[in-house]
């Protein structure tokens, strides 16, 4: 054990570029400060499936991290510790490991006592979970149970409450702009509408910010149900005004057409956090635009290029911001641990690095402020009144 104690670190939920730089930063800094560092594999699953016995083979569940282990991983995307969507407080019977099957036989089980037992078995003094609000809400639960926690926020959607920035968001925006610009050649060559479906279950930042950067003429977001006819009219106008005779819209996966009772889902059951897999709204919009377009272009139907970006924007290496911010977050986490400021989440507030209580993630959702940042009539970002607004228009003013 390090002279200061042992820090455990894990990544949960979906992978994003920037996780490995955060793991590297925590490890290198913590080791320099005299801590031992344990990497827990596959998120909360590692702490559920581990067998708290010195003679058990737990190599699939944790490993000791050193400077040598993490030296090169910071240059790569994903998470070398791997991840899962396991929720220990709501574990279905089918996911209960064999050695716990006799003790947890309900359809849904809270195996938190086993997680606490395994943390004690590992000798972890402080836990650093990296994840979105689902992962971090369980981190908050563990803090309530007496486990010292310092959390790091990540998510492509940039929607973790309490912070203006989450690991993965910048790369998502960068990839979206890059991929949309590539798709323009096909849309322009055939004089079509281009419909691109992007991430964004409840918050539309991943559509709004790329659109603000010029990636699209229009964007539709979860916070504002939209009229398909109105979108068709606006895109037809944009296409008419474009010398190359095409136009582009970004569609958040959680966007809804006015009158819809729910979002558009793929087939399949919900995960352990109650989320069904989204997907298909982009195709619905594309089909609707083709059907409606004759009303606005002289009776002729406009064909549509429809593309769902999905994992293309969360794969590959991190961009510059998603190498810099995770590194800073990792060092901030160790600073908080050294000062004994536990039960915190590192954050960006008012444009500067800060920290907030970890339980903020279970508070009010972080979504686009439609009145301030979205022009609901024009279906695009609002470009007026930006003085004093956050850099990435993804936070609200304090007070």
Distance CA(200)–CA(193), nearest Å, equals 21
Strand 374-375 relative to strand 380-381: parallel, antiparallel, unpaired?
A: antiparallel
Q: Is 354 a catalytic residue?
A: no
Which residues fall within 8 angstroms of residue 62, CB to CB, at 6 or more apart? 8, 38, 39, 40, 41, 46, 50, 122
Give the dihedral of Cα atoms 350, 351, 353, 358; nearest 10 deg.
Answer: 50
The residue from 125, 133, 134, 157 that is catalytic is 157
Would you tell me how many other CB atoms lie within 10 Å of the CB of residue 361? 25
Strand 126-131 relative to strand 304-308: parallel, antiparallel, unpaired?
A: unpaired
Percent helix / strand / coil, the chain, rounded to 5: 40, 20, 45
Distance CA(99)–CA(238), nearest Å, equals 61
Distance CA(203)–CA(201), nearest Å, equals 6
Strand 304-308 relative to strand 193-198: parallel, antiparallel, unpaired?
A: parallel
Would you tell me how many other CB atoms lie within 10 Å of the CB of residue 257? 16
Distance CA(318)–CA(314), nearest Å, equals 9
Distance CA(387)–CA(390), nearest Å, equals 9
Would you tell me how many other CB atoms lie within 10 Å of the CB of residue 396? 14
52-80 exposure pattern, b = at least 16 Cβ within 10 A, e = fewer: eeeeeebeebbbebeeebbeebbeebbbb
CB 322 within 8 A of CB 18: yes
The residues carrying an active-site annotation are 157
């Amino acid at each position: 054990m390090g002279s200061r104690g042992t820090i455990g670190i894990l990544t949960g939920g979906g992978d994003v570029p920037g996780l490995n730089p955060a793991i590297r930063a925590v490890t290198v800094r913590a080791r320099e400060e005299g801590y031992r560092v344990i990497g827990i594999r596959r998120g909360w699953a590692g702490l559920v499936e581990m067998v708290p016995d010195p003679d058990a083979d737990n190599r699939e569940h944790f490993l000791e991290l050193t400077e040598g282990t993490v030296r090169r991983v910071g240059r790569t995307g994903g998470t070398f510790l791997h991840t899962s969507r396991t929720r220990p407080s709501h574990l279905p019977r089918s996911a209960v490991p064999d050695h716990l099957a006799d003790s947890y036989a309900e359809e849904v089980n809270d195996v938190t006592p086993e997680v606490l037992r395994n943390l004690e078995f590992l000798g972890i003094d402080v836990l650093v979970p990296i994840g979105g609000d689902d992962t971090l809400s369980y981190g908050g639960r563990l803090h309530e149970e007496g486990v010292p926690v310092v959390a790091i926020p990540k998510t492509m959607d940039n929607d973790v409450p309490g912070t203006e920035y989450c690991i993965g968001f910048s790369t998502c925006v960068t990839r979206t702009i890059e991929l949309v610009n590539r798709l323009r050649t096909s849309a322009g060559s055939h004089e079509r509408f281009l419909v691109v479906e992007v991430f964004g279950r409840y918050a539309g930042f991943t559509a709004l910010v790329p659109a603000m950067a010029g990636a699209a003429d229009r964007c539709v977001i979860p916070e504002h149900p939209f009229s398909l006819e109105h979108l068709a009219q606006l895109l037809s106008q944009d296409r008419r005004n474009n010398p190359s005779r095409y136009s582009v819209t970004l569609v958040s996966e959680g966007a809804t057409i006015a009158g819809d009772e729910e979002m558009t889902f793929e087939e399949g059951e919900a995960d352990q956090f109650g989320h069904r897999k989204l997907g298909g709204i982009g195709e619905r919009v594309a089909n609707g635009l083709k059907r409606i377009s004759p009303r606005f272009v002289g009776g002729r139907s406009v064909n549509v290029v429809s593309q769902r970006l999905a994992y293309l924007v969360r794969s590959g290496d991190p961009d510059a911001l998603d190498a810099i911010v995770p590194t800073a977050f990792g060092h901030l986490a160790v600073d908080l641990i050294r000062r004994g400021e536990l039960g915190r989440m590192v954050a960006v507030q008012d444009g500067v690095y800060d920290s907030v209580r970890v339980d903020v993630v279970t508070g009010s959702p972080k979504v686009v402020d439609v009145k301030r940042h979205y022009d609901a009539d024009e279906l695009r970002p609002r470009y007026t009144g930006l003085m004093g607004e956050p850099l990435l228009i993804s936070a609200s003013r304090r007070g």
